[in-house]
């Protein structure tokens, strides 16, 4: 295990590489040479935690929070009942836990370092900001490179900054909810994130403010043998509404990459939060994420989630319906190709009367890919008038593809309404044949069938994301048939 060298803090950033240095294989599979001023070194120890805290200028309470979390991480065993075989391949000593060029987030694209700007230009982030976003944050490895919010939204009192800035500038709001929705000891990977977190978004929407256009964050991994651990906290005060969207990409390396985020949502009385994710990780990424929201009285939390790529994804967005008439919803799409395991689902905890939850999950397994739905619905005996609907549909493309469904629905008492539906189907050879007779190639016919399978869920995504989602599925279908 290698700790950070003392000279790293004084190291100077290397010169910005020319565009000719870029390695390009596909839309998201490209990388620039590293230009890090700060590098925590390989492995995770107390020195690693102190190094990150020093670089970021953490207050004492955050440093203490990190060290406590490190102990929890070291003491907790790996989960033994989920995706065990894949998790055994994670070697924590082989990752670097903090990389940064030392620059603060820029408010103008023109001020962003040239290689970082070219990265996000290729991914279309500036164009999306101009067209339909109220604000954008773009994270490059451990820190935000760009952060901006439109003046009209900022004038409404909306706060949209990276987590470090939120921690320092708005401690009275940040500290109240940070780590309260997802405790450090929730699982091994939430503890890991709590020890080394960096980046992510902090959003606060004042009472009654309805943000008309989405806020977006984009998380980009550029470096090899690296772990990205963003921490996002979104608070919608009474009657407020906000939609937050995130995109994720990384180049494909021969070595493993680790992504382990924690996302906490707080919807106060009558508030609404929509959290939209489209991830397109490369197939060497372990994507182990903990996401959860609290919905107070008459509030609503919706997770709209699409998982494409990664070697292993374990993600189960959850909602704790804490107040009467609160609503929680998870809409999920997962696509697993050969060498990939999408272990996804939802957790719905009813904690007040007349609460409603809805889970709709669709998965596609291609080649030797494996998709798993893992869900939890809990309704205690002392409550009344709770409702849950769970639908899990799986589509198998090839005879070697695999799917599993593990629903855990615990309903006590007799004053509730719950229903669960699950189906597994295979693409019909007759259907593909018919479409090919209409002039489509086999890959085009397969893509059309898959898009038809998830079409009702794709409509839930914002237009810009639904177009991107269709394009990604078309790419996954290429070479998957025959």
Q: Are 395 and 364 in contact (CB under 8 A)?
A: yes
- Shared domain for 369 and 472, answered yes or no, is no
- Report the residue count for the chain: 482
Q: What is the pLDDT of residue 243?
A: 95
In angstroms, the CA 481 to CA 446 distance is: 8
Q: What are the pLDDT digits (tens) for 234-280? A: 999 999 999 999 988 777 777 899 999 999 999 999 999 999 998 88
Q: Could you give the number of structural domains in the chain?
A: 2
Q: Which are the contacts of 382, defined by CB distance < 8 A and separation ≥ 6?
A: 413
- Shared domain for 399 and 365, answered yes or no, is yes
In angstroms, the CA 62 to CA 460 distance is: 37
What is the reported pTM?
A: 0.87
- Shared domain for 151 and 266, answered yes or no, is yes
- Shared domain for 324 and 423, answered yes or no, is yes
Tell me whether residue 482 is in a domain.
yes
Tell me whether residue 472 is in a domain.
yes
Q: What is the pLDDT of residue 108?
A: 72
In angstroms, the CA 247 to CA 428 distance is: 32
Q: What is the pLDDT of residue 475?
A: 73
Tell me whether residue 13 is in a domain.
no
Tell me whether residue 68 is in a domain.
no
Q: What is the pLDDT of residue 145?
A: 80
- Shared domain for 245 and 341, answered yes or no, is yes
The low-confidence residues of the chain, meaning pLDDT below 70, are 1-36, 81-84, 109, 115-132, 463-464, 478-482
- Shared domain for 391 and 458, answered yes or no, is no
Q: What is the pLDDT of residue 9?
A: 31
- Shared domain for 336 and 470, answered yes or no, is no
Q: What is the pLDDT of residue 462?
A: 75
Q: What is the pLDDT of residue 82?
A: 64
Q: What is the pLDDT of residue 136?
A: 80
- Shared domain for 362 and 474, answered yes or no, is no
- Chain mean pLDDT for the chain: 85
Q: What is the pLDDT of residue 261?
A: 96
- Shared domain for 355 and 467, answered yes or no, is no
Q: What is the pLDDT of residue 208?
A: 98
Tell me whether residue 96 is in a domain.
no
- Shared domain for 321 and 343, answered yes or no, is yes
Domain span holding position 347: 106-437
């Amino acid at each position: 295990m290698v700790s950070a060298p003392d000279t790293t803090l004084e190291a100077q950033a290397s010169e910005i590489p020319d565009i000719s240095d870029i390695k390009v294989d596909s839309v998201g599979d490209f990388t620039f040479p590293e230009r890090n001023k700060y590098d925590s070194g390989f492995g995770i120890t107390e020195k690693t935690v102190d190094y990150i805290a020093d670089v970021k200028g953490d207050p004492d309470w955050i440093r203490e929070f990190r060290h406590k979390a490190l102990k929890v991480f070291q003491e907790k065993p790996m989960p033994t009942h989920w995706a065990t075989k894949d998790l055994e391949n994670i070697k924590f000593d082989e990752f670097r836990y903090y990389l940064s060029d030392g620059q603060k987030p820029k408010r103008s694209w023109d001020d962003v370092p040239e290689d970082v700007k070219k990265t996000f230009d290729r991914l279309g982030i500036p164009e999306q900001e101009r067209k339909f976003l109220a604000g954008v944050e773009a994270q490059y490895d451990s820190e935000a490179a760009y952060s901006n919010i439109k003046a009209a939204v900022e004038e409404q009192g909306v706060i949209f900054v990276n987590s470090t800035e939120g921690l320092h500038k708005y401690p009275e709001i940040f500290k109240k909810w940070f780590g309260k929705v997802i405790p450090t000891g929730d699982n091994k990977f939430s503890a890991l994130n709590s020890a080394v977190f960096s980046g992510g978004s902090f959003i606060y929407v004042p009472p009654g403010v309805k943000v008309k256009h989405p806020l977006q964050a984009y998380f980009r991994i550029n470096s090899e043998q690296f772990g990205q651990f963003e921490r996002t906290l979104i608070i919608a005060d009474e009657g407020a509404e906000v939609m937050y969207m995130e995109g994720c990409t990384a180049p494909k390396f021969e070595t493993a990459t680790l992504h382990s985020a924690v996302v906490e949502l707080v919807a106060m009385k009558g508030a609404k939060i929509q959290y939209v994710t489209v991830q397109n990780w490369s197939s060497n990424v372990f994507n182990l994420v903990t996401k959860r929201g609290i919905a107070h009285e008459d509030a609503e939390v919706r997770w709209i989630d699409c998982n494409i790529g990664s070697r292993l994804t374990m993600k189960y967005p959850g909602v704790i319906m804490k107040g009467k008439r609160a609503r929680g919803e998870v809409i999920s799409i997962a696509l697993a190709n050969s060498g990939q395991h999408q272990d996804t689902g939802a957790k719905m905890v009813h904690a007040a009367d007349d609460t409603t939850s809805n889970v709709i999950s669709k998965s596609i397994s291609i080649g030797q890919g494996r998709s798993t739905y893992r869900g939890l619905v809990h309704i205690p005996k002392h409550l009344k008038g709770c409702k849950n609907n769970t639908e899990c549909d799986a589509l198998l493309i090839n005879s070697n593809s695999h799917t599993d469904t593990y629903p855990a629905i615990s309903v006590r008492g007799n004053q509730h309404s719950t229903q669960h539906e699950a189906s597994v189907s295979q693409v019909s050879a007759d259907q593909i044949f018919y479409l090919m007779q209409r002039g489509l190639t086999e890959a085009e016919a397969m893509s059309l069938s898959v898009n038809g399978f998830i079409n009702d869920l794709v409509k839930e995504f914002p237009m810009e994301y639904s177009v991107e989602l269709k394009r990604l599925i078309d790419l996954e279908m290429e070479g998957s048939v025959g």
